[in-house]
């Protein structure tokens, strides 16, 4: 990640995945408007990152970006967190404090983990969104906030409404534009570039000059399920950088946290396929670049699937058109 979150803009984010590209296009639209946004994605997919990017690309850039984790606050602290309090409003309130809505006035209020908010929090937030007004605890004075709202959730809010866990009226208020951030396992074609970028960053941090990834190490990375998404990727790359003493990442350097260690199984066989086996065991793989590792992998799976594009695409977890593009690339490379 080249830019720190506080400066990150949507155009700093690139992708080679169709669904993610759609998501970034919607994010750019969202930045041009004041419409409330819901960012929907598994943990670690980049919801917080995208919330910052939308804010920084919007007319509110330079104004406050206030993040509030709606699930992590008990009901007793909730109101003072959201609306602030005056000195002496309750035992221990030694000075006046601004709440998140007040702090985010003219800026963006990012409500994280919104699906887990308590019923009380839902009522309180709805009231401010409907009337734009609130008061600090211990004060009668009405304050206003025009904070632009961006929410994040790792589960469908519509489903939460259906289960009676989320207020329908609040859902309607928050849900201007929903951006679906695909999980990393569905952004398969992005993995090599993401790994390369993380590796470069980790190498700089650890003071190591790593120039390549061994094909078998790459195989491990490509086959991992990445339940923790980009956060897990970043940790894994940092760890393998630590373990690596030379310039090439070897398979033994790739270690996943035990509770997340579940390799993507190939549906047909029920077990992972070794993808970089050479016919000749001693035949050294000379081109260790990520790009060439990915091309070899795609070609291998395509051959395994008896050159059936539909099956190969399914095994790879990518669309058929994406596979076709890669195969053209593979063919071109060999020509
Ligand atoms: N497109 C991306 N490129 C590079 N790193 C990313 C990207 N999206 C997310 N990350 C990194 O992944 C980690 C998790 O992102 P975050 O926004 O906190 O996810 P979430 O809020 O969905 O849990 C962060 O370290 C972030 O910098
Ligand atoms: Mg987050």
Same domain, 301 and 312: yes
Same domain, 28 and 53: yes
- The structure tokens 């790879």 sit at 316
Same domain, 33 and 175: yes
Dist. CA 70–CA 124, nearest whole Å = 12
Expressed in angstroms and rounded, the spacing between residue 44 Cα and the centre of ligand 1 is 6
Let me know if residue 2 belongs to a domain: no
The vertex-281 CA angle with 275 and 284, nearest 5°, equals: 90
Dist. CA 99–CA 79, nearest whole Å = 8
Query: What pLDDT does 314 receive?
Result: 82
Q: What residue numbers bound the domain in which 293 lies?
A: 185-334
Q: For a substitution probing ligand 1, which of 72, 184, 231, 236 has the most ligand atoms within 8 Å of its CB?
A: 231
Dist. CA 281–CA 301, nearest whole Å = 19
For residue 145 and ligand 1, the question of a CB distance below 6 A is answered with: no
Give the contacts of 198 (CB within 8 A, at least 6 positions apart).
233, 234, 237, 238
Average pLDDT, consecutive stretches of 10 residues, N- to C-terminus, the chain (335 residues): 84 94 98 97 97 98 95 88 93 93 97 94 94 93 96 96 97 96 92 92 93 92 93 95 94 80 39 34 48 75 82 82 80 48
DSSP three-state, residue 180: strand
- The structure tokens 């929907």 sit at 40
Q: What is the pTM of this model?
A: 0.80
Whether the CB-CB separation of 199 and 247 falls below 8 Å is answered with no
Name the domain boundary from 122, 151, 182.
Answer: 182
Same domain, 20 and 81: yes
For residue 187 and ligand 1, the question of a CB distance below 6 A is answered with: no
For residue 182 and ligand 1, the question of a CB distance below 6 A is answered with: no
Query: What pLDDT does 291 receive?
Result: 72
Whichever domain contains 114, its CATH number is 3.40.50.300
Query: What pLDDT does 288 receive?
Result: 59
Taking Cα atoms as reference points, which of 77, 95, 82, 90 lies closest to residue 136? 82
Let me know if residue 97 belongs to a domain: yes
Nearest-CA residue for ligand 1 atom 15 is: 46
Dist. CA 321–CA 131, nearest whole Å = 48
Ligand nearest to the CA of 181: 1
Beta strands in 154-216 (DSSP E): 177-180, 212-213
Query: What pLDDT does 282 receive?
Result: 33
Same domain, 24 and 128: yes
Nearest-CA residue for ligand 1 atom 7 is: 46
The distance of Cα 50 from the centroid of its chain, to the nearest Å, equals: 8
Give the contacts of 265 (CB within 8 A, at least 6 positions apart).
271, 272
Same domain, 287 and 172: no
Query: What pLDDT does 259 receive?
Result: 57
Q: How many domains does the chain have?
A: 2
Q: How far is CA 261 from CA 20, 183, 223, 232, 273, in A?
A: 25, 16, 11, 11, 16
């Amino acid at each position: 990640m080249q830019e720190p979150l506080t400066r990150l803009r949507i155009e700093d984010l690139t992708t080679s995945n169709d669904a993610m590209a759609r998501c970034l296009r919607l994010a750019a639209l969202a930045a041009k408007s004041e419409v409330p946004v819901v960012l929907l994605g598994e943990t670690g997919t980049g919801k917080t990152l995208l919330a910052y990017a939308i804010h920084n690309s919007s007319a509110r850039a330079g104004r406050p970006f206030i993040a509030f984790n709606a699930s992590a606050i008990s009901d007793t602290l909730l109101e003072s967190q959201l609306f602030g309090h005056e000195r002496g409003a309750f035992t221990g309130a030694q000075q006046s404090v601004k709440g998140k809505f007040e702090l985010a006035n003219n800026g963006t209020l990012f409500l994280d983990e919104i699906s887990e908010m308590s019923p009380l929090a839902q009522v309180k937030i709805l009231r401010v969104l409907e009337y734009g007004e609130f008061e600090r605890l211990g004060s009668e004075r009405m304050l206003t906030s025009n904070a632009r709202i961006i929410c994040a959730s790792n589960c469908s809010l519509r489903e939460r409404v259906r289960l009676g866990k989320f207020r329908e009226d609040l859902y309607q208020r928050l849900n201007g534009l929903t951006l679906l951030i695909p999980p990393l396992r569905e952004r398969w074609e992005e993995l090599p570039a993401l790994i390369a970028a993380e590796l470069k960053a980790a190498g700089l941090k650890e003071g190591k000059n790593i120039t390549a990834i061994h094909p078998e190490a790459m195989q491990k990375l490509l086959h991992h399920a990445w339940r923790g998404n980009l956060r897990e990727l970043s940790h894994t790359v940092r760890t393998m950088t630590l373990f690596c003493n030379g310039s090439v990442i070897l398979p033994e350097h790739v270690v996943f946290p035990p509770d997340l260690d579940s390799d993507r199984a190939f549906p047909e066989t029920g077990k992972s396929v070794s993808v970089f086996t050479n016919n000749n065991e001693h035949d050294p793989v000379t081109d260790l670049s990520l790009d060439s590792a990915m091309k070899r992998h795609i070609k291998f799976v395509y051959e395994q699937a008896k050159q059936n594009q539909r099956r190969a695409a399914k095994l790879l977890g990518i669309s058929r058109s994406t596979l076709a593009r890669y195969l053209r690339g593979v063919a071109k490379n060999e020509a």
